Amino acid sequence: MSDMIRIDDTNCRGFLADDALSAARNRVAEALATLQSRSGPGSDFLGWVDLPVQAREALPPLLETAEEIRAQSDVLVVVGIGGSYLGARAVIEALRPPFGGDDLSILYAGHHIDGGYLSAMLDHLEGRRVSINVISKSGTTTEPAIAFRILRRWMEDRYGKAEAARRIFATTDARKGALRTLADEEGYRSFVIPDDVGGRFSVFTPVGLLPIAAAGVNAAALLDGAIAMRGKCGFRDPHANPAFAYAVLRDALYHSGQSVEVLASFHPQLQYITEWWKQLFGESEGKDGRGLFPAAVTNTTDLHSMGQYIQDGQRMLFETFLFSDIAEVDIALPVSDDDTDGLRYLAGRTLADVNRQAMRGTALAHLSGGVPNALITLSSISPASIGALLYFFETAVALSGYALGVNPFDQPGVEEYKRNMFALLRKPGFEQLHDELTARLGGLS
């Protein structure tokens, strides 16, 4: 498990004065002390720190349920949004073969409000054996609640109430919320999200682990990777603690005028890892008028679109490259007698090798264009390294948030759209806001 994650900051150094770096180091060291003493804002949401160890011990019954889901289903529909959706999808898409095969297929619902999508899903479910894992910490979030009402009706019509209840698994609060009430009344088997773990930090609770295990991903190895990373995350030394090193770099670049961080992966299977990262960093840091804007690209695909801006647009960004050292499965370019396609010079070379040269070439090109770039190297894309990566990012964002002077564990800014949506939908209790908003709709009416 040694060095599942390495950080190289060579291509940032020219952009950072020594005093900027040492000021950042001091801020992050203070942030680490705050985190360790549990004395900072939001410290009642630090359950994530010890989760991998606790989850490892509590894993056997969850694995049994996952096996049951696998045995009784062709499809598992995972219903949830935000922190109750992205972690599971990130891990599953990173670690399952991209084209599925005969294994249980995992579909996602409740992460947006589009009737065409859900209607097509219901058509697709016909004739297949279906289970549902509905996930909501609050138990009241509108998007998953809408999707679940529709899917529950479909399950009950299809299977009858009793069999539908055997095929529905709820992950929610231990005591409160509409989903808890529903699960208790209907007799759904349920898993609990601890009170002291926020949504975006919940991937190592049943929120992430049940769908991950049901998808056939090795959840024990995932947690072992997170546990190994946790062993490093207490050190105050950037050489011993990659989360500390990353937080220092981000903080120094932010205070040197870079306001956007682009996480640039070179592996399409990591696309949802970057989506999960965007939520983790955006919701944790973006408040009180502060915070790096987290953006993401998948290369080399996006070098043919966003690459232009990164190379040559407004200079306010830095990149963090995410690259896997070893390809578990690879393919080499065939040798050919003719050279009509002009690729003879690559014959026999692997795509991992070509990808590495693309990453290196991009780093140097963007550096010449005035974009600092850091490199996070994963030893491989495996359950253990992905577990380590997720825990690394969780620690880094906690340190970054405290260094920035914000509470990294709340999300007050996600409420306003919800209030407006309720008012426009005429939810009881929002009548006055409905009238105010309707008067302001203008071109949207």
The least CB distance from residue 41 to ligand PA5, in Å, is: 16
Binding mask of the shown chain, residues 81 to 120, with x at each position contacting ligand PA5 by CB under 6 A: xxxx------------------------------------
Question: Is 304 a catalytic site residue?
Answer: yes
Q: Which two tokens mark 270?
A: 């990591």
Residues in binding contact with ligand PA5, number by CB under 6 A: 14
238 within 8 A of 392, measured Cβ to Cβ? no
Q: Based on the shown chain and the rule CB under 6 A, indicate whether residue 401 belongs to the binding site for ligand PA5.
A: no
Q: Which two tokens mark 289?
A: 């008028």
Residue 88 to residues 195, 247, 391, Cα–Cα distance (Å):
19, 25, 14
Q: Considering only the stretches 49-57, 194-202, 338-346, 389-397, report the one whose residues sit in contact with ligand PA5 under the rule CB under 6 A.
A: 194-202
Upstream peptide bond of 300 is cis (omega within 30 degrees of 0): yes
The least CB distance from residue 403 to ligand PA5, in Å, is: 20
Catalytic residue among 93, 143, 261, 283: 283
Residue 31 CA to residue 402 CA, distance in Å, equals 5
Residue 259 CA to residue 278 CA, distance in Å, equals 14
Strand partners, 293: 260
Question: What is the DSSP-derived secondary structure letter of residue 104?
Answer: P
Residue 445 CA to residue 441 CA, distance in Å, equals 5
Question: Which helix H or strand E contains 214, and what residues bound it?
Answer: helix 206-214
Question: Is 366 a catalytic site residue?
Answer: no
Question: Is 418 a catalytic site residue?
Answer: yes
The least CB distance from residue 28 to ligand PA5, in Å, is: 23
Catalytic residue among 126, 304, 415, 416: 304
C-beta closer to ligand PA5: residue 198 or 307 = 198
Q: Which two tokens mark 53?
A: 């160890």
**Contacts to ligand PA5 from residues 130-149, by CB under 6 A:** 136-138, 141, 144
C-beta closer to ligand PA5: residue 204 or 321 = 204
Q: Considering only the stretches 76-84, 260-268, 340-348, 437-445, report the one whose residues sit in contact with ligand PA5 under the rule CB under 6 A.
A: 76-84
Residue 82 CA to residue 29 CA, distance in Å, equals 30
DSSP string for residues in 342-371: S-GGGTT-BHHHHHHHHHHHHHHHHHHTT-
Of 40, 47, 87, 199, the residue at the interface with ligand PA5 (CB under 6 A) is 199
Residue 113 CA to residue 103 CA, distance in Å, equals 28
Number of other residues whose CB lies within 10 A of the CB of residue 95:
21
C-beta closer to ligand PA5: residue 252 or 397 = 397
The least CB distance from residue 183 to ligand PA5, in Å, is: 14
Binding mask of the shown chain, residues 261 to 300, with x at each position contacting ligand PA5 by CB under 6 A: ----------------------x-----------------
Instruction: Cite the active site residues.
Output: 283, 304, 418
Binding residues for ligand PA5, rule: CB under 6 A, are 81-84, 136-138, 141, 144, 198-200, 283, 411
